[in-house]
């Protein structure tokens, strides 16, 4: 019996140890990669999840106090720590909701017969008296810091230029008021005891000599045809820009235009149901109409046939008459309390009912939400009740992310991404559909450009080209993949885009002339005598195409204007514009060329390796049986290499979908859904790169960008899984070859 030598046993033991180490290392690396992908996925989901969580309303505090007079309005500071109440005697009281005590009170006016308030962003209140006069007051809070403690100081300021404004010369008592007041202008709308509708416009004029601001009160002249008595005037509001007046009757809604102290009736809209009250939504671009049957409808202006009309957009049915309603200050949310004591939180834009619960057994006298919308303050006959509201992302729903939404000012529902704007009452639009469409659009045009070139090049170099030439061509193409995409994007945006714009006809002509010229040159080569064909070494025929294609490209750019004059009256862009086809300098054509150039090496390398790896005995056997080279290529080689070619295309698609810098620099980055190759787009990856630095941590915008990243992750996973499944199917199908 032969025994292993000591050195052999040592080497065997070392080999087993090395094998064990390598096996553990390879397995742990594979598991680590899978774990890393899972962690990325879970992290994205953790950031995204809060935007789809449900809304909660929890009792926070209660302050028992009773009032013997009627409540006209309530409000609070930014955070809902201190509230105020205005009663029908013209008095305002400030209540500390944290310490549950009365802070101060002040008499604003006596003998008030009418009351109104502006939208929350203006914070003005108006009181009408029994002599046809109006007095203004602004209620707010001043923040002071003393010894590190934050203190709220309530303030009541009267409108200094006019102690009172006489609206009615007949000195009739005012029964209804509407007000809009800014730093430079204002409008008062009043209804008198004898059913007359009056208005006063306040204008500020700066004295050029002294720089002093002088205010003037000018009566508004109403179009008499619009003042015909219909039924009882229920409610009236004025937009903050002082351009429109809305009057609500029981069965009619009127829209008035105000300009140069003249009020003209724009339209009268009949209402089928009995109306109850009119309220401006945040931003004042929409009005909310309450009906007696518990229905709330949103209306805003749309343009149809070049005419502006107030249009009913959406309705909400609460099943019982609405008792109190409070719109949010900066968002499109509304808090509604019905006569059954149910609290409902809705978001008008998304048509989403966020919350509904029975919370009140007593009558609700008034309701308000602080500007930060994190609390709900309710006044009942028993006193004040404060609720904590957790509702950070009401503007996001499945419909708003993936469906069409009818936004204010738009003629119809649409897919729109518009995340930021300059003003506070901006309505965020978070549809990911334009970004997903832009991603697929950029990838599609890149593949249209790169796919035929890369696969054709791979076929030629792997099957037809001589080994000596292939030795230089293949590494040269592969090294192109190392070129930074930021350089390609820079060249595409600064150099290529102007060339395409100035030579649009020539660029499109090349897509026809290049393939056509190759076919013509191949035909000429085919009919040449054999002794001429043998002078060029086999596998180097492509050398003939290079000078020919350069010459054709030069001639096309030099004389492309002749084609433009012949077919398009000398101006292709104008020709397309007359037919409704737009043009952007940085468009999908530029992106397709630039991104196509970037993914050609990826597709080429994998496809070329797959074709070159086809066993030689298959092609040689086919040729030995009498098949031509072309027949062998199409019937044997390409079928055998089809799994690898398909993988190459999928790898190119995956890179095109995730590409950032090229589309960021070579397009206008406009999130539109237009398949026009001459228009731009914005992709998911480019949008993340653009907007992530400006997004607020934890905001809806921030989380929506992570949702966009998650969609990219899912799409890439889906494409790779589909590609692998198809590749395995092709491999099984053609394994018999």
Q: Quick check: 292 pLDDT over 80?
A: yes
Angle 431-434-440 from CA coordinates, rounded to 5°: 135
608 φ/ψ angles, rounded to the nearest 5 degrees: -65, -40
Q: Quick check: 251 pLDDT over 80?
A: yes
Its domain, for residue 649, covers 430-734
Which tokens belong to 295?
């229905």
DSSP conformational letter for 227: G
Percent of the chain topping pLDDT 70: 96
Q: In this predicted structure, what is the pLDDT of residue 432? A: 94
- Domain annotation covers residue 380: no
Residue 302: C-alpha distances to residues 18, 305, 352, 407 (Å):
75, 10, 22, 10
- Domain annotation covers residue 240: no
CATH number at residue 491: 1.10.3720.10
Q: In this predicted structure, what is the pLDDT of residue 364? A: 93
With CA atoms as reference, report the closest residue to 396 among 718, 622, 658, 705.
Answer: 705
Q: What's the rounded Cα separation, in Å, for the pair 355 and 369? A: 15
Per residue in 593-649, pLDDT tens? 999 999 999 999 999 998 998 888 888 888 888 888 888 888 888 888 888 898 899
Give buried/exposed letters for 155-183 (b at 16+ CB in 10 A, else e): ebeebeebebbebbeeebbbebbbbbbbe
Confidence of residue 256 (pLDDT cuts 50, 70, 90): very high
Q: What is the pTM of this model?
A: 0.87
Q: Quick check: 737 pLDDT over 60?
A: no
Residues across the chain: 737
CA atoms within 13 A on the CB side of 83: 27
- Domain annotation covers residue 615: yes
CA atoms within 13 A on the CB side of 49: 6
- Domain annotation covers residue 420: no
Per residue in 128-163, pLDDT tens? 988 899 998 988 888 888 777 788 889 888 887 778
What residues are paired with 138 via a beta bridge?
124, 157
- Domain annotation covers residue 324: no
- Domain annotation covers residue 13: no
User: Based on the structure, what is the number of domains in the chain?
Assistant: 1
Q: What is the DSSP string of 389-415?
A: EE-S-TT--HHHHHS-B--TT-SS-B-
- What is the bridge-based pairing of β-strands 286-291 and 275-280? antiparallel
With CA atoms as reference, report the closest residue to 428 among 439, 419, 441, 437.
Answer: 419
SS (H, E, C) 190-218: EEECCCCEEEEEEEEEECCCCCCEEEEEE
- Domain annotation covers residue 639: yes
- Domain annotation covers residue 531: yes
Per residue in 671-728, pLDDT tens? 988 888 999 899 999 999 999 988 888 899 999 999 999 999 888 888 888 877 887 7
Mean pLDDT of the residues in the chain? 88
- Greater confidence (80 vs 528) lies with 80
Q: Quick check: 121 pLDDT over 70?
A: no
């Amino acid at each position: 019996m032969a025994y292993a030598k000591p050195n052999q046993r040592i080497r065997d033991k070392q080999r087993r140890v090395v094998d064990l180490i390598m096996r553990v290392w390879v397995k742990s690396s594979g598991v680590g990669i899978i774990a890393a992908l899972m962690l990325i996925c879970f992290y994205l989901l953790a950031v995204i999840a809060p935007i789809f969580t449900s809304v909660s309303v929890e009792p926070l505090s209660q302050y028992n106090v009773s009032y013997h007079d009627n409540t006209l309005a309530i409000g609070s500071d930014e955070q809902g720590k201190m509230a105020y109440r205005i009663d029908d005697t013209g008095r305002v009281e400030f209540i500390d909701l944290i310490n549950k005590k009365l802070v101060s009170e002040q008499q604003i006016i006596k003998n008030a017969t009418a009351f109104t308030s502006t939208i929350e962003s203006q914070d003005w209140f108006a009181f009408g008296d029994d002599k046809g006069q109006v007095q203004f007051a602004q209620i707010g809070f001043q923040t002071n810091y003393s010894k590190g403690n934050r203190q709220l100081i309530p303030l009541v300021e009267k409108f200094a230029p006019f102690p009172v404004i006489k609206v009615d010369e007949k000195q009739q008592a005012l029964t209804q008021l509407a007000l809009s007041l800014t730093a430079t202008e204002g409008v008062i709308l009043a209804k008198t005891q004898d059913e007359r509708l009056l208005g006063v416009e306040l204008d500020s004029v700066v004295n050029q000599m002294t720089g002093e601001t002088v205010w003037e009160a000018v009566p508004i002249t109403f179009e008499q045809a619009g003042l015909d008595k219909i039924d009882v005037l229920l409610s009236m509001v004025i937009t903050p820009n002082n351009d429109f007046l809305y009057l609500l009757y029981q069965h009619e809604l009127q829209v008035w235009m105000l300009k140069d102290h003249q009020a003209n009736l724009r339209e009268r809209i009949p209402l089928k149901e009995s109306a109850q009250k009119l309220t401006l939504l945040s931003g004042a671009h929409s009005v909310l109409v309450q009906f007696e049957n518990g229905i709330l409808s949103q209306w805003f202006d749309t343009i149809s046939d070049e005419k502006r009309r107030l249009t009913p957009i959406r309705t909400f049915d609460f099943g019982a008459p609405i008792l109190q309603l409070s719109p949010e200050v900066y968002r499109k949310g509304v808090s509604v309390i019905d006569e059954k004591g149910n609290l409902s939180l809705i978001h008008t834009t998304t048509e989403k009912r966020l919350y509904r619960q029975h919370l009140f057994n007593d009558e609700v006298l008034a309701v308000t939400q602080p500007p930060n919308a994190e609390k709900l303050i309710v006044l009942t006959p028993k006193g004040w009740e404060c609720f904590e509201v957790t509702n950070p992302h009401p503007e996001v729903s499945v419909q708003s992310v993936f469906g069409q939404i009818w936004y204010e000012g738009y003629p119809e529902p649409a897919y729109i991404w518009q995340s930021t704007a300059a003003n506070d009452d901006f309505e965020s639009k978070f549809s990911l559909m334009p970004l997903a469409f832009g991603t697929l659009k950029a990838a599609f045009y890149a593949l249209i450009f790169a796919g035929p070139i890369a696969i054709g090049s791979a076929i030629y170099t792997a099957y037809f080209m001589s080994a000596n030439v292939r030795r230089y061509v293949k590494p040269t193409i592969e090294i192109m993949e190392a070129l930074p995409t930021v350089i390609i994007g820079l060249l595409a945006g600064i150099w290529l885009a102007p060339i395409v714009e100035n030579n649009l006809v020539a660029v499109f002509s090349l897509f026809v002339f290049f393939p056509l010229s190759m076919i013509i040159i191949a035909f000429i080569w085919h009919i040449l005598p054999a002794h001429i064909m043998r002078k060029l070494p086999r596998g180097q025929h492509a050398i003939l195409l290079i000078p020919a294609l350069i010459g054709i490209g030069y001639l096309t750019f030099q004389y492309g204007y002749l084609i433009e004059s012949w077919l398009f009256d000398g101006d292709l862009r104008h020709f397309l514009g007359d037919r409704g086809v737009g043009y952007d300098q940085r468009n999908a054509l530029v992106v397709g060329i630039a991104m196509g150039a970037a993914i050609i090496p990826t597709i080429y390398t994998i496809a070329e390796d797959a074709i070159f790896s086809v066993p030689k005995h298959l092609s040689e056997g086919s040729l030995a049986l009498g098949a031509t080279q072309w027949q062998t290529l199409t019937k044997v080689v390409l079928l055998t290499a089809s799994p690898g070619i398909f993988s190459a295309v999928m790898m190119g698609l995956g890179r095109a979908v995730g590409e950032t810098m090229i589309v960021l620099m070579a397009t206008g980055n406009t999130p539109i859904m237009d398949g026009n190759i001459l228009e731009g787009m914005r992709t998911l990856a480019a949008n993340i790169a653009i907007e992530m630095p400006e997004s607020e941590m934890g905001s809806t915008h921030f989380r929506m960008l992570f949702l966009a990243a998650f969609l990219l992750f899912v799409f890439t996973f889906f494409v790779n899984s589909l590609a692998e499944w198809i590749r395995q199917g092709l491999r099984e199908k053609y394994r018999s070859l």
